[in-house]
Each structure stands twice: as structure tokens, then as C-alpha cells.
Chains A and B, each alone.
Chain A
Amino acid sequence: MIMNTLPTMQQHATPFNLQNNPVPAGEQLWLQQIRQNALQHFVKHGFPTTRQEDWKYTKITPLAEQVYYLPTRTQVSAEQIAEHLIPNLDSYLLVFVNGQYQTELAELSGLPAGVILCELTEALTQQPALVQAHLTKIAATAKHGLSALNTAHMQTGYFLHVPANIKLTKPIQLIFLSTEQELPTTYQLRNLVIADTHSKLTLIENYIGIGSTNYWTNTLTEIHVEDHAQVEHFKLLQESQSAYHTGTLSVQQGAHSQLNSHSFALGGRLIRSDSDIVQTAEYVSSELNGLYLAKGKQHIDHHTSIDHAQAYGSSRELYKGIIDEQGRAVFNGRVLVRQDAQKINAAQTNKNLLLSEQAEIDTKPQLEIYADDVKCAHGATVGQLNASELFYLRSRGLNEQTARSILTFAFANELLEFVNQIQLRNYLRHCIIQQLAQDPTILEML
């Protein structure tokens, strides 16, 4: 394994190897140190392998074997980006194209005073102390090689700081677009969010790939949710059908805070999405929702981890998958209730709809409970479309294909009910139906 990864490690290591000076000019020493430590960790451990329990079903050897290149400068016009924005959504906006931040396309007007929303590298110069105090403070480098790799090689990403008591009424839209390119490219994206006490915000990360380029997005988003803060986070994966997406969301929550994170994994050759939530104080609420649609030869793996470290916390997870053709999906939901975390209420549900004989799902709850006064529920189902429901629809004149489309969409629709933003919900509905390649007339019906 290590042998296999060597050539690509060189490829990744070269630009960022401190001795070789690939570090952005003038980067602070503390960050150089962090990169170097992470790089050492990666060089030592390499890419995760299927021998590791957490990677048992997801083989990323193609990533290790592929030679990837660093992003090159790409510029797109506002018109080109317009078609990728969520229609009619009034939002703040940052745009990244092929791993490059697009300064001119940012939309920040009306941002309340004190709120900082910018590219991470800009934050490093404008707010070095703030960044230093938070960057890599949640995401454990040691978790797996990909996080280490991201830390070592982080290229760009967004930074958001919402000071105490500020409640953003408009969502923040973050576009990560990949266009058709000549060479396989890798984007090592690093995002950092600080939601101070009693603040409130909504993030919509939208990863979009056009064309059939093989590229690899490796993201790490750290969110600090301080006491009483409320964060709503969306991650839309619409990567190209040849693309690899590995991403980790690392969240740390303070007392009485709330985090809702929604993953919509619709496009990508291989997706591995980790959500790691740590409830560091009492009365924390965390909700994770996910929808994954795997078809063709797509492989979509969601790993969640909720660490109830303190008492009176709650967590709720609902992940639903629709798997067709030779698609394959993995769900692993870890819930850790530590010894002192009494009165925890945790619920986890994973439901899967298999639409073909070859479709495959590996689902596993992973409960580790060390406290005695807790409520912990979990359930997983795997099934096909319900024959009685299909017949009922057909008996009212709907043809079989339409009936199937309606029921398939209805299965997915439960996750849209958690989306309060009407424009976002409409957009997602559209994307889901497109990805399911279902009878578009059902849109009029739903």
C-alpha cells in the first residue's frame, strides 16, 4: 500500500514540501509548522486502506495511483457562474473555480458590520490571531490520512467569522465549481467558520463539476459553534461523474448551541463524506440529515460521528439512500456517549431504497455508550419500492414509470422537508429529479 502511494505522495509533497519552498510566500511560521507536521503524518501513514475498519467498504486506491496536478488559474465571468447559482436565492456569495478564489464574483453587500467573510488566505493576513486560534483546533490531523493531507496542502477555502449576537438573515452561498480541464487536478480546500455566542447563520456549500474531467476535491470544513449559536449547514455534492470527493466536516459545539447539517450527495464517481460532531458542553443539539443517490458505478460513503461528551445533549440523524444500477453506498453512524454525558437523547435512522439487483448498501450503526441514563435509538432499513403503493397509483391511471418516479422521489422528499429556505428546497428538488433521471413531468405533480 505504502509502495503504491509513493509516487503520488511525491506529487502532492513536492509543491508543499517545506524544504522545497512550495509554501505560499510569506506564510506565517505557525502555519508552516502545522503543514509540516501534517505532511509528516501523511507520509508516515499514507492513504487510508480497506484494512482500516472505517474504510472497509471504500477503496480509494485510484486516488493513490492517479497523478494529480495543482490548480491553474481559471477565470470565469459572472454570466458563466450565474447558471450555477441557486435561482432567486438572496444570499451572500463566494465563488471558487477550479480551486481558485474568484474575487470579482463575491457578493458581500449588506453584510453586517463585524462579520468577516473572505478567502481563508485573506483572513490569514487580515485576522491572523483569529485564524491561528481556530484553524486545525477541531479537526484531528490523526483522524485519517486525508485530513492530514488537507492540512499539509490546503490551498484555498472560505473563512467566516460571525461575532457574538449577530444573526445573519441571508444564507451564505459557497460555490466550488470545476470546469472541464486537460489534466486531472486536485483541490485541497480548507474552510473555517467561527460562529460566536448567540450568533446565527446558514451555509450552503455547493460542489459542482461540469464535463467529465477526473479531478479530486479533498475538503475539510471546521465549524466552531460557540454557546447558544445556531448553525445551519448544507453540503451539496454535484461533482462530475468522473470526480472523487473526499470531505470532512468537523464541528465543535458549545453549550445550548445548535447545528443542523444536511448532505445531499448527488454526483461524483466516488464520494466519501465524514461528519464529526463534538458536543463539548451541556444542552447541545445536533441534527444530521443526508440523502445519497448512487447509480451507474457511483460509490457514496457517509461516515458520521457524534461525540456526546457532556450531559443533556441531543442528536438526531436521518440518512436516506437511493441506489440504482451498480451503485454502491455505505453508511456508518457512530454515536459516542461518554461516561459523564447523562440524559442524552440520540436517534439515528438510515433507510435505503435499492432499485436494482446489483445495487448495494453497507449500513452500520456504531453505538458506544458509557453513561447509564441515556436514550439511544437507531434503525436501518433496506428495501424496494412498495408494490401496494405502486399498484394503488397505477389503479388511478398513472403509468408504471411515473408511479415509480413518484414513489422514488417521495422517498427522497422527506429530506427536503427539513429545508426551510424555499428557493433552496426548489433547487434541490430539481437537482434530485434530474439525478434520478426520472420522468420530469412528475415535477408538476410534486
Chain B
Amino acid sequence: MLTIKNLHANIDDKAILKGINLQVNPGEVHAIMGPNGSGKSTLANVLVGREEYQITQGEVRFEDQDLLNMAPEERARAGIFLAFQYPVEIPGVSNINFLKAALNNVRAARGLAKLDAIDLLQQVKDKMQQVKMNPDFLYRSVNEGFSGGEKKRNEVLQMLLLEPKLALLDETDSGLDIDALKIVADGVNALRSPERAIVLVTHYQRLLDYIVPDFVHVLSGGQIIKSGDKNLALELEQQGYGWLTEARA
């Protein structure tokens, strides 16, 4: 589904990604771990088309398409979704209208009819219940004044509504208490299916107790320095990253 080959990316002429290789197949769950500043968010943002990053080498294919040549909205319509580490606040645009626009655009791309207002509202409210969000949040501006946890839940809500083929979650678990963490995990697990793939960026094993990954990768210094199964995450939990990064140095 997603094939990343020798991906290099810069920001402001500073090399951040230095040759990423990754293969993600339908049905799989991948966890990406690694020290702060190692390039995890950069990788996620490059995959959804954030323009600040310059791709200097490499190739990314999503299904049969050249992902790096697609506009951000085309990627979203093709079924890629990123739950951002730091969701943006958009004053003046109500959450419900934003969700409406997003859902109808993505549906149109899939050849589905526009939902009428009532069906749409019902669907949104159902999903909100799933992530235990108060319906009041629909009528507030997107993320404006939301707490950290509320923003993360709003990301999961969008993910559940848009039903992406490939869901990327960038530290969606950070800063959440255990109840909120379970809600996020339940959301991700609800999305899990043989046709979908999930890539989780996380620092913590505790999320992986709820969402068991098929693969765990360690990203450090802009490269994947180790890959393994779920046991790698347990090892990292106990020993940190030192033994890996030192072994390379």
C-alpha cells in the first residue's frame, strides 16, 4: 500500500530525513518510535504533503500512485490521513462545518453522494459518542481553545469520519490520561481492517498495550535503525534508545 524508498528530506537546507525505507501493507499496524527530534513528525508531514519540507531524494508510492507529486488534498482524497501532533486552531470556522466539508469532499472523491444535513449530523454525533466528545464541540471553532486532549480526540473523530485507508497518528497518545488513551486506542482499533493500514508514532509502550502492532521501527537521526515485532517496543521501554543509537555510533 505504502512504499517509501530512500527518502531524504530537508527543512531550511538542514537534512532531517536521511534515507527512509518502509513498506506498509494493507491490514498492518506499524509503530514508529524514536528519540525526540529524530524526524518522526517530519516523516508523517512529508507523507501528507506539507510544503515546508524539501524532498531531496527518494520515492514514495501509495497504491499505484506517485505520492510526492500529489497535492495535500489529493492525498487526503486518496485515503491518507494524519492525526497531527499539534492540531491547528482555526478561528471562525465551526467544527461541524469543517467536518461537513471534509467528509463531503472525501466522499465525492470516492464516488459517494453528498450526505444530507440530517444524516451527516447523525453520523458525526455517533462518532463523537465513540470518542466521548460533547456535541457542544461541533459549534465551536475548529480546535480553538480546546485542551490538548480535546484536540487529540477531535483528530480521532475526523479519522473515524473520513475512514482513511492509511491512518498516520503522530503522538496522538501524548499527554493523555489513561481513560483518554483508551478512547484513542478504541478508535484506532475500530478502524482496523484487512484493507486498512495504520502507522502510529509514539513514545510509549502503554499505547501499544491497547493497539498491538505488527511491526515496530526505531527512527533515529533521520533513518530507521532497527525494525522488529511488538517485543522491540517492550525492550525499548526497559532499556531506552541508548543501546541502539550507541551501537551505531
Residues of A in contact with B (beta carbons under 8 Å apart): 387-389, 391-400, 402-403, 406-407, 409-411, 413-414, 442, 444-446
Question: What are 30 inter-chain pairs, A to B, with CB distance below 8 A?
Answer: A391-B51, A391-B72, A393-B98, A394-B71, A394-B76, A395-B49, A395-B73, A395-B76, A396-B98, A396-B101, A396-B158, A397-B73, A397-B76, A397-B102, A397-B105, A397-B106, A398-B73, A398-B101, A399-B73, A399-B105, A406-B93, A406-B101, A407-B93, A410-B91, A410-B93, A411-B92, A414-B91, A442-B101, A445-B100, A445-B101
Extra inter-chain contacts (8) besides given A396-B162, A409-B92, CB under 8 Å: A391-B51, A392-B142, A396-B76, A397-B105, A397-B162, A399-B71, A410-B93, A446-B93
Q: Is B84 an interface residue (CB 8 A)?
A: yes
- Give the chain A neighbours of B75 by CB distance below 8 A: 395
Residues of B in contact with A (beta carbons under 8 Å apart): 48-51, 71-73, 75-77, 82, 84, 87-88, 90-94, 97-98, 100-102, 105-106, 109, 142, 158, 162
Q: Closest approach, in angstroms, between the C-beta of B110 and any C-beta of chain A? A: 10
- Give the chain A neighbours of B98 by CB distance below 8 A: 393, 396, 445
Which residue of A has the minimal Cβ distance to B77? A397
Which residue of B has the minimal Cβ distance to A392? B88
A396 partner, pick from B71, B94, B102, beta carbons under 8 A: B102
- Give the chain A neighbours of B71 by CB distance below 8 A: 394, 399-400
- Give the chain B neighbours of A403 by CB distance below 8 A: 73
B87 partner, pick from A392, A398, A402, beta carbons under 8 A: A392
Q: How far is the CA of A407 from the CA of B90 in the complex (A)?
A: 8
- Give the chain A neighbours of B105 by CB distance below 8 A: 396-399, 402
Q: Which of A389, A396, A403 neighbours the largest number of chain B CB atoms within 10 Å of its CB?
A: A396
B84 partner, pick from A389, A392, A413, beta carbons under 8 A: A392
Cβ-defined contact, A414 with B92, below 8 A: yes
Cβ-defined contact, B48 with A395, below 8 A: yes
- Give the chain A neighbours of B109 by CB distance below 8 A: 397
B73 partner, pick from A387, A394, A414, beta carbons under 8 A: A394
- Give the chain A neighbours of B94 by CB distance below 8 A: 446
- Give the chain A neighbours of B51 by CB distance below 8 A: 387, 391
Q: How far is the CA of A395 from the CA of B73 in the complex (A)?
A: 5
- Give the chain B neighbours of A388 by CB distance below 8 A: 88
Q: Closest approach, in angstroms, between the C-beta of B246 and any C-beta of chain A? A: 36
Q: How far is the CA of A293 from the CA of B102 in the complex (A)?
A: 27
Cβ-defined contact, A393 with B90, below 8 A: yes
Sorted nearest first, the 7 A-B pairs with minimum C-beta distance are A410-B92, A396-B102, A397-B105, A397-B76, A394-B72, A392-B88, A397-B106
Which residue of B has the minimal Cβ distance to A396? B102
- Give the chain B neighbours of A393 by CB distance below 8 A: 90, 98, 101
Q: Which of A397, A400, A406 neighbours the largest number of chain B CB atoms within 10 Å of its CB?
A: A397
Cβ-defined contact, A446 with B72, below 8 A: no
- Give the chain A neighbours of B73 by CB distance below 8 A: 394-395, 397-400, 403
B72 partner, pick from A389, A395, A402, A409, beta carbons under 8 A: A395
B90 partner, pick from A389, A414, A444, beta carbons under 8 A: A389
Cβ-defined contact, A391 with B50, below 8 A: yes
- Give the chain B neighbours of A391 by CB distance below 8 A: 50-51, 72, 88
Cβ-defined contact, B90 with A392, below 8 A: yes
- Give the chain B neighbours of A394 by CB distance below 8 A: 49, 71-73, 76
Q: How far is the CA of A442 from the CA of B104 in the complex (A)?
A: 12
Which residue of B has the minimal Cβ distance to A412? B92
A445 partner, pick from B76, B84, B90, B97, beta carbons under 8 A: B97
Q: Closest approach, in angstroms, between the C-beta of A436 and any C-beta of chain B? A: 14
Cβ-defined contact, B97 with A413, below 8 A: no
- Give the chain A neighbours of B100 by CB distance below 8 A: 444-445
Which residue of A has the minimal Cβ distance to B142? A392
Q: How far is the CA of A131 from the CA of B95 in the complex (A)?
A: 51
Q: Closest approach, in angstroms, between the C-beta of B78 and any C-beta of chain A? A: 10
Q: How far is the CA of A392 from the CA of B75 in the complex (A)?
A: 13
Q: How far is the CA of A395 from the CA of B84 in the complex (A)?
A: 10
- Give the chain A neighbours of B92 by CB distance below 8 A: 407, 409-411, 413-414
Q: Closest approach, in angstroms, between the C-beta of A187 and any C-beta of chain B? A: 36
Which residue of B has the minimal Cβ distance to A388? B88
Which residue of A has the minimal Cβ distance to B158? A396
Q: How far is the CA of A442 from the CA of B48 in the complex (A)?
A: 24
Which residue of A has the minimal Cβ distance to B93? A410
Q: How far is the CA of A411 from the CA of B93 in the complex (A)?
A: 9
- Give the chain A neighbours of B90 by CB distance below 8 A: 389, 392-393, 407, 410
Q: Closest approach, in angstroms, between the C-beta of A263 and any C-beta of chain B? A: 19
- Give the chain B neighbours of A400 by CB distance below 8 A: 71, 73
Q: How far is the CA of A388 from the CA of B91 in the complex (A)?
A: 12
Which residue of A has the minimal Cβ distance to B75? A395
- Give the chain A neighbours of B91 by CB distance below 8 A: 410, 414
Q: Which of A392, A395, A402, A442 neighbours the largest number of chain B CB atoms within 10 Å of its CB?
A: A395
Q: Closest approach, in angstroms, between the C-beta of B228 and any C-beta of chain A? A: 30
Q: Closest approach, in angstroms, between the C-beta of A428 and any C-beta of chain B? A: 15
- Give the chain B neighbours of A445 by CB distance below 8 A: 97-98, 100-101
- Give the chain A neighbours of B162 by CB distance below 8 A: 396-397
Q: Closest approach, in angstroms, between the C-beta of B54 and any C-beta of chain A? A: 15
Q: How far is the CA of A388 from the CA of B85 in the complex (A)?
A: 13
- Give the chain B neighbours of A407 by CB distance below 8 A: 90, 92-93
Q: Closest approach, in angstroms, between the C-beta of A216 and any C-beta of chain B? A: 35
Q: How far is the CA of A407 from the CA of B89 in the complex (A)?
A: 12
Q: Closest approach, in angstroms, between the C-beta of A342 and any C-beta of chain B? A: 35
Which residue of A has the minimal Cβ distance to B109? A397
Q: Closest approach, in angstroms, between the C-beta of A22 and any C-beta of chain B? A: 51
Q: How far is the CA of A403 from the CA of B87 in the complex (A)?
A: 16
Q: How far is the CA of A19 from the CA of B84 in the complex (A)?
A: 76
Q: Closest approach, in angstroms, between the C-beta of B18 and any C-beta of chain A? A: 24
Q: How far is the CA of A409 from the CA of B94 in the complex (A)?
A: 12
Q: How far is the CA of A406 from the CA of B82 in the complex (A)?
A: 21
- Give the chain A neighbours of B142 by CB distance below 8 A: 392
- Give the chain B neighbours of A399 by CB distance below 8 A: 71, 73, 105
Q: How far is the CA of A394 from the CA of B71 in the complex (A)?
A: 8
- Give the chain A neighbours of B102 by CB distance below 8 A: 396-398
Which residue of A has the minimal Cβ distance to B106? A397
- Give the chain A neighbours of B88 by CB distance below 8 A: 388-389, 391-392
- Give the chain A neighbours of B97 by CB distance below 8 A: 445-446
Q: How far is the CA of A250 from the CA of B227 in the complex (A)?
A: 74
